[in-house]
Structure 1
């Protein structure tokens, strides 16, 4: 019977040191790569200061009450073409269904998860109670449509709705 010779290496202090250093080098390298990816893809904060957002809260409540009292009907139609051209049309009426003119509207398409993709749409008066605007290069997907209406520098209307553009 032939004896098999198996060589058993003893575990030395040098082997343990090299293995431990290699293990932590891999862990630290992976953590650094993940941190770098997380920081470069972070879209930013929703509000820069919670304190100032809290102070503005009461003004927003008052503005919302005034908007409800005005009882305006603002109907928006948004249409996105396959090339990314997006048109928005607003029909604005007061509480008695009379068309409202002389207002200044601004619309924003906001990405729910990445504010770097937000797009502003300038809207101009196209007729009595009708306002229109367009934007180029709007991607398909979920957006928040924010519509703000001003009269004499004072916000009179604010609306935010989740929409899906195809």
Structure 2
């Protein structure tokens, strides 16, 4: 081994410039990465206009209480690429509805939201051919009756292997 001869290296302005560029380069890169993630993920928007939503709140509560007083029971089944929905009154008799729409949305990701119109197979039973991707979904179903009233229901479900769990 040969001992190092000479003077120790000096810390120059170029060294300081390199350190400063690397330091701020890392900070700016992380900020750009986080801004990109924020722009491409869920917006966090729940309602378009909070004032209007607050005005409709009492009306919606009254509708949900009236709906709960009916005692109707619903069944949602998802399996083999088919969605089935049934609606029965308190005595178990199928309820006749004109149409049923099921809106599937992810709890925190809008890009995969979709809806399907279920067709009536017979009184009170509706179905549609649609494959539901695995994961957690919030399903909003709206059944429209002949007299113009609606029966709405929201439920959180888990789909695994194409079937409701």
CA distance in 2, matches of 1:21, 1:3: 34
Structure 2: unaligned runs, 5 residues or longer = 161-165
Matched, 1:59 2:59: yes
**Partner of residue 91 from structure 1, selected from 62, 86, 90:** 86
Matched with 2:36 is 36
TM-score, normalised by the number of residues in structure 2 = 0.81
Say whether the 8 Å CA contact 2:106–2:112 is kept in structure 1: yes
Matched, 1:159 2:153: yes
CA distance in 2, matches of 1:120, 1:104: 13
Say whether the 8 Å CA contact 1:67–1:156 is kept in structure 2: no
TM-score, normalised by the number of residues in structure 1 = 0.80
Once the 2 structures are TM-superposed, how far is the Cα of residue 107 of structure 1 from its aligned partner?
0.9
1:120–1:9 Cα change, 3 Å: same
CA distance in 2, matches of 1:157, 1:129: 12
Matched, 1:20 2:14: no
RMSD: 2.4
Count of aligned pairs between the two proteins: 159
CA distance in 2, matches of 1:127, 1:3: 95
CA distance in 2, matches of 1:156, 1:110: 20
CA distance in 2, matches of 1:135, 1:150: 21
CA distance in 1, matches of 2:147, 2:27: 56
Structure 1: unaligned runs, 5 residues or longer = none
CA distance in 2, matches of 1:3, 1:69: 93
Say whether the 8 Å CA contact 2:118–2:126 is kept in structure 1: yes
